[in-house]
Amino acid sequence: MELQERTDFINALKDDYSLPTLTALLLNKLDKPIANIIITTGMSYPDVLQTVVQKAIEEGWIGDLVYHATTQNSGGVNLKAFVQNHPDFDPAKGPPMAVDWVMAHTLRARRYFFGRKDLRAALKELRSPDGARVLVVNGQRVSGKSYTNELIAFLSERTPKNKTIYMNLDKYVFEAPNLTEMIGLQMGMDTTRIPQQQDEQKARWVQRLVGWILNRVVNPGDVTYWFVFDGFREQTLLPETKDWIDELAVQAETNVPQCRVVLLNYTETLPFQISDFISREEIKPIGRDELIEFFKLLNVDYNNKYEPEDLVSKVDVLLAEVDGAIASKPETQIERLRLVGKAVKQTAGLLFA
């Protein structure tokens, strides 16, 4: 939405909607409680409108807001005038197409996520009811494995009835009950009810621990849980913890359609009965083509502010600076992705301030 369109839309909203009717519109049509958008009390109504529209632009639901505002209040003369002056927003064209958040290149708080076509394809498959439910992501050190969780969390936040549970197993040596407790706490469970080991083998107890977690997933069963396990490099992975992860992966793939399991930097062998159904990504280095594509997508967000050849030139300069920095300190080669990410953020900030 261009600046003039934004200004005209805010003015039309201000005249055709009151704070109560706007609040009802956000909740009933967009499932956006205004309390989740306006965190500062005592704001004037114009400031509320500015905040709501800015939030809608940042999170990608501005098209939905315009559509529902113009269709729910079709008698408003100001919104009618807005549509006449900006026909791209004419509700007669129908609601805007749903945003495919898997392909997002700008995440929350202007975090940039570029490249990773294989990951995006794998996540699309995991979102499908007929696709794989277990994903293993591997790559060289500092290749962006942990960064994967940024996109998964972003996707989960913007997809109704999805929730991400993230565990970094390099923080501690997790025994099976510790792992169960930490996951249970994230899921809001009463961890005093974690099953205790009875007169049974530890493998059987681990199954009951995983079953206790999955019982929350299947009841009520309307939320898809993404269990993301990271680390596996610094701390020892105990056999019982591996058994825990194996059991969760098997149950996700065979019995619990509301469960997804993502393993980052996981080189252990998963149970043979699901090995042929696991989705995998081997992270490839970010190259020139991926960066050019990223800046072209970002340019679209800003109404094609630059010519394509200008963006190609900026990418070449960016890469030359990164390669120059590595040449002066060859030991930083392993951190090339981090250096590229930093350069991308700086360049994007200058181009699209």
Question: How many beta carbons lie within 10 A of that of residue 182, not counting itself?
Answer: 16
SS3 state at 345: helix
CATH topology (fold) of 115-282:
Rossmann fold (3.40.50)
Average confidence (pLDDT) over 112-140? 94
In tens, the pLDDT along 243-262 reads 999 999 999 999 999 999 99
Instruction: Please write the tens of the pLDDT for every residue from 162-185.
Output: 999 999 999 999 999 999 999 999
Residue 89 pLDDT class (50, 70, 90 cuts): confident
CA dist 90 and 83 (Å) reads 5
Most confident of 68-82, 103-117, 155-169, 187-201: 187-201
Sequence-separated (6 or more) residues with CB below 8 Å from residue 122: 132, 135, 279, 280, 281
Q: Is the peptide bond before 330 cis (omega within 30 degrees of 0)?
A: no
Cβ-based neighbours of 232, under 8 Å, separated by 6 or more: 169, 170, 263, 264, 265, 266, 267, 268
Sign of CA dihedral 305, 308, 313, 314: positive
User: Among 108-112, 179-183, 231-235, 345-349, where is mean pLDDT lowest?
Assistant: 108-112
Please report how many Cα atoms fall inside a 13 Å half-sphere around the Cα of residue 135, on the Cβ side: 28
Q: How far apart are the C-alpha atoms of 146 and 190, rounded to whole Å?
A: 29
Least confident of 41-55, 73-87, 327-341: 73-87
Task: Say yes or no to pLDDT of 98 above 70.
Answer: no
pLDDT on residue 5: 86
| Interval 95-121 mean pLDDT | 86
User: What gap in Å lies between CA 209 and CA 37, rounded to an integer?
Assistant: 38
* pLDDT category of residue 338 using cuts at 50, 70 and 90: very high
pLDDT on residue 97: 66
Point out which residues pair with 279 in neighbouring strands: 135
Domain spans of the chain? 3-93, 115-282, 288-351
